[in-house]
Amino acid sequence: MSEKINKLRDIWDSIPNSVTEQIDLSQKELINQYMDVFHFGEYFYVIFNTRTAEMEYVSPNVENILGYTPKDFYLQVVMDNIHSEDLPYYYHYEQSAVRFFSALAPELFFKYKFAYDYRLKTKEGSYKRVQQQIVPIYYFPEGGVRTLGIFTDLTHLNITGIPKLSFIGMQGAPSYYNVHLKDDFLKIPTLFSKRELEILSLMVQGFTSEIISLKLERSIHTIRNHRKHILEKSGCENVQELLVKAVREGWV
């Protein structure tokens, strides 16, 4: 096993084993439950086991995004093809995630996902920026976890700069954005209403105001007003900046 994977396994060895209650859903039900709210562009997903460091399942769309067949996409491929400038952040964010979940009360373990982005080389040699969203779906009594990971292609957003890490609360749990390994986890108040977040998610997916108005069955005037308020609340100067910030801050 490579040095890169051994470094990850050392990090994952600290995953808490104090969970006594598991989610009472089948793997298929879990995937269906999370998929509608986790992705906002072209994506593929994996089921990963930290105890074995193996991907137990890779969805077929990985080939459309990265060029690999499911059987040819595994952890070593990921580690060997993360951009060298992003690899240190990858390790830091995995360590930060373990620290975050270790500090949670057991009843909160299944109410969080964490997300960060990085550049990943495709099979043909170019780089794509992907966002990796991870949610635990099963904790092993002896330690370790099985996770659902959604990889979304962000290349069209032209994101640059340092990768960002966020912990997004579900079912009413608070969220923590732009977390760094050395920082405390600071709760950030929600900026947007439920409707605004719905519209923002559709904007990130590339839908125009006209299409959004049809999807939500609201007038074009209402949608444009919402977009104006979203932009004002975000502190961004233009829509492109808003879309990038929405993804990296974990707003959608």
Q: For 24-77, how does the pLDDT look when each residue is reduced to its tens digit (9 = 90+)?
A: 545 556 566 565 555 567 889 999 999 999 999 999 999 999 999 999 999 999
Report the number of distinct structural domains present in the chain.
2
Q: Are residues 203 and 165 in the same domain?
A: no
- Show the domain range for 228: 194-248
Q: What is the pLDDT of residue 221?
A: 93
Q: Judge whether 181 lies within some domain.
A: no
Tens of pLDDT along 186-215?
444 567 888 998 898 888 878 899 999 998
Question: What is the CB neighbour count within 10 angstroms for residue 219?
Answer: 10
Q: Are residues 161 and 198 in the same domain?
A: no
Q: How far is Cα of residue 32 from the mean position of the Cα atoms in its chain?
A: 16
Q: What is the pLDDT of residue 39?
A: 55
Question: What CATH number corresponds to the domain at position 20?
Answer: 3.30.450.20
Q: Are residues 78 and 142 in the same domain?
A: yes
Q: Judge whether 177 lies within some domain.
A: no
H/E run at residue 251: none
Rounded CA separation 154/241 (Å):
13
Q: Are residues 39 and 164 in the same domain?
A: yes
Q: What is the pLDDT of residue 190?
A: 67
Rounded CA separation 143/14 (Å):
8
Last residue of a domain, one of 113, 135, 169: 169
Q: What is the pLDDT of residue 111?
A: 86
Question: What CATH number corresponds to the domain at position 202?
Answer: 1.10.10.10
Tens of pLDDT along 86-123?
998 899 889 888 888 888 887 888 888 899 999 999 99
Whole-model pTM: value is 0.73
